[in-house]
Amino acid sequence: MTSRRTDTRTDHRSKRSGMITVAVAGMAAGVLAAAGAARADNAPPAPQKMPAAGNEGEINKYAQAMLADGRKIFRSDTFGSEAFWGDVLGLHKAIAGEKNSGVGPGVSPRTALSVGLKVDVDALPADLKKQLGAGKVNLDDPATTVALLKLNAVVAVTAFANADGSVRSMGIQCALCHSTVDDSFAPGIGKRLDGWANRDLNVGAIVGLAPNLKPIGDMLGVDVATVRKVLASWGPGRYDALLDKDGKAFRPDGKQAGTLIPPAFGLAGINLSTWTGFGSVPYWNAYVATTQMHGMGTFVDARFGASKKQYPVAQKTNSGNTRAASDDTTAKLPALQYYQLSIPAPKAPAGSYNAAAFARGREVFNNKGRCAGCHVPPLFTEPGSGLHSAKEMGVDSFSADRSPTHAYRTAPLAGLWSHQKGGFYHDGRFGTLLDVVNHYDATLKLKLATEEKSDLVEYLKGI
């Protein structure tokens, strides 16, 4: 019986597939007939063959290629930004120092590490690792920095060399601000952690080394001394991505105007990017690559041309309509986005938070604390559009008003534990998570008990 049934089924199946064959042949005949009719005036291409196994294999291949391309772009593509950082500002000269065909004292590896630059241990040859481990490498000599740059070992800073080996120019990459290392070899030296916010990086101190800051001053309509003052004001982990649009170098209260460097992980499913929700990931990537990193590319957003009051510098430079003579960026946006969406938020290490308090804190987050109303798990921001007014958040509107949205975006919280340095909220105004919780307790009149607050903090540390 069993075998008969199997036989029947086999029969049935072959009959069905036979029918499909007939149907396909019929369709093909129809297509051919149509093609025949058209051939008289305009010969069309041969009819497309249906793929034999669907397109799953093709999709998998595409995904692999996008991931690999995106990683490469994120880590090592300068987008041609050496034309600005090296050729115009001369930053490479200050790093190399006068003994190495540059200017000034140069930047030693010790100084480079102290301003938050990171070294990729996987780029170091075995013998150099051995020497480093034995303390035999001179970390106070800028020549060592130049050697590390030539090995492509300084994360997200690429040097270009002359034929005689001297450094000719340098460009930067996305990974400069949005990655760090795991310190597995030594502090600042280890394996790459792509997507993590580099809260050690003092962008202002690094840019401030450049021998020629006049182009930045000219753009902003200020002198070089003022440019230096602004760059020095940010401090570690902060950068001002709007200075070149609105020229607002300081807050009305005199404090620095930059924002914290956010992570570039855990972004899949999240609609709006940046603290103030400028746009999507590829929107912001085009913005940064062309108008901040000064790569060669195209960036278009009429919002920067619309208001002279909000964006006086952008009106002058027309940077809301940036079109480089050659575009080295646009073709890279798909893979770059793909890669960022592939980076998961890192899981909090076991033991870094109290598990029982975490579970209690989740209840507070979802119920009495009303946090989940905006930070909707598991995205921890709103599916849809998560923009809130400064008034609603109980903070001032300075940074919100520098954005076309005039609002703050609900910050996605997954992996929060990895970027506690520098504080919380767009400018790091709250030093600790308890400060954040106390702020909500007061603003939303939550009346949380002391334990509920500390449970909430443990929850935030663990998500």
The residues of the shown chain that bind ligand HEC, judged by CB under 6 A, are: 172, 174, 176-178, 203, 239, 241, 259, 261-262, 264, 267, 273-276, 281, 284-285, 288-289, 293, 336, 340, 369-371, 373-375, 388, 392-393, 395, 408-411, 413, 416, 424-426, 433, 436-437, 440, 456, 460
Toward ligand HEC, which CB reaches closer, 144 or 322? 322
The answer for residues whose C-beta is within 8 angstroms of residue 30's C-beta and 6 or more apart is none
State how far the Cα of 107 lies from the Cα of 97, in Å rounded to an integer. 7
Of 124 and 362, which has the nearer Cβ to ligand HEC?
A: 362
- Contacting residues for 259 by C-beta, under 8 A, at least 6 apart: 238, 239, 240, 241, 275, 399, 426, 427
Could you tell me the CA-to-CA distances from 392 to 75, 266, 366, 389 in Å, in that order? 38, 25, 19, 5
CA distances from 368 to 205, 364, 443 (A): 43, 5, 14
CB 174 within 8 Å of CB 107: no
- 93/332 with CB nearer ligand HEC: 332
Residue 36: CB minimum distance to ligand HEC, A? 51
Nearer to ligand HEC, 91 or 336 (CB): 336
**Cβ 9 to ligand HEC, closest distance in Å?**
53
Closest distance of CB 296 from ligand HEC, Å: 12
Q: Which is nearer to ligand HEC, 348 or 395 (CB)?
A: 395
3-state DSSP assignment of residue 52:
strand
Closest to ligand HEC by CB, 36 vs 373, is 373
Q: Which of 265, 275, 329, 274 is nearest to 297 (CA)?
A: 329
Phi (first) and psi of residue 190, to 5 degrees: 180, -160
Tokens of 99: 């003994």
Residues 6+ apart with CB under 8 A from 400: 276, 389, 390, 406, 407, 408
Nearer to ligand HEC, 129 or 228 (CB): 228
Shortest Å, Cβ 101 to ligand HEC = 26
SS3 31: helix
CA distance 244 to 290: 12
Q: Is residue 63 classed as helix, strand or coil in its secondary structure?
A: helix
Phi, psi of 342 (to 5 degrees): -90, -5
Query: CB of 438: closest distance to ligand HEC in angstroms?
Result: 10
Q: Which is nearer to ligand HEC, 144 or 427 (by Cβ)?
A: 427
Q: Which amino acid is at 173?
A: Q
